[in-house]
Amino acid sequence: MRVLLDETELNEGVLRLASEIDQYYGNQRHLTVIAVMTGSLVLFADLIRRLSMPQRVGVVQASSYRGGTESGELRVDSQMMIDVSGRDVLLVDDIFDTGKTLDRLQKMMLQSGAATVKTAVLLHKNREHSVALRPDFVAFEIPDEFVVGYGLDYLDMYRNLPYLAVLEPAEIEATASESQP
């Protein structure tokens, strides 16, 4: 595993992200902050505690990686969603890759009557995106490689790593063969 961002760098990135979001909204405006599960789990916990405004917090589940490292069909489960009508919504995801996830979720929130919908991500992959949407708040630009740690998984492993690392092809193979119970 090759470490791309260590704990200190991640921490600085989250602080930067929080201060940009604070500046944009101000500390009086009520915000509805939605975690895109499961990848944003760790970022989300760190980020919301560094934001100054009053917040309502919710989650939505989105997944497109069906047991691999290539993005597939996007599935959204909004069973745990809170009401967003008339609210200023901030969607928080781990990474902006093709952009399909946040593009779809932003449209969903607007259809549900959200007043405004902004997006924040820890990572932005340096590649061509398949949607017009660009995230409003980004902590880091990274190369187009498959990364794990700090919430990001391969086969639901590695989310607990306190750093962000590139998973090498041999490790991808080994993880896949070890992932059987």
Which residues participate in catalysis according to the annotation? 97
Beta-carbon contacts of 50 under 8 Å, excluding residues fewer than 6 positions away, are 14, 15, 18
Instruction: Provide the minimum distance between the beta carbon of 1 and Mg ion in the complex, in angstroms, as a whole number.
Output: 17
Alpha carbon distance 32, 12 (integer Å): 23
Instruction: Provide the minimum distance between the beta carbon of 61 and Mg ion in the complex, in angstroms, as a whole number.
Output: 9
Is 13 strand, coil or helix?
Answer: helix
Among 98, 39, 99, 161, smallest CA distance to 175 is for 161
For ligand 5GP, give the closer residue by CB, 53 or 131. Answer: 131
For ligand 5GP, give the closer residue by CB, 18 or 122. Answer: 122
Handedness of CA 56, 135, 156, 6 (dihedral sign): negative
Among 118, 121, 172, 120, smallest CA distance to 147 is for 172
Instruction: Provide the minimum distance between the beta carbon of 55 and Mg ion in the complex, in angstroms, as a whole number.
Output: 21
Radius of gyration of the chain (CA): 16
Q: What are phi and psi of 124, to 5 degrees?
A: -125, 120
For ligand 5GP, give the closer residue by CB, 88 or 153. Answer: 153
Give the number of residues in contact with Mg ion, rule: CB under 5 A: 3
39 binds Mg ion (CB under 5 A): yes
Residues in 114-143 that interact with Mg ion by CB under 5 A: none
Using CB under 6 A as the criterion, which residues of the chain lie in contact with ligand 5GP when the complex forms?
36, 39, 64-65, 71, 93-101, 146-148, 152-154
For ligand 5GP, give the closer residue by CB, 85 or 170. Answer: 170
State the DSSP code for 81: P
Instruction: Provide the minimum distance between the beta carbon of 55 and ligand 5GP in the complex, in angstroms, as a whole number.
Output: 21
Residues in 61-100 that interact with Mg ion by CB under 5 A: 65
103 binds Mg ion (CB under 5 A): no
Q: Which residues bind Mg ion (CB under 5 A)?
A: 39, 65, 153
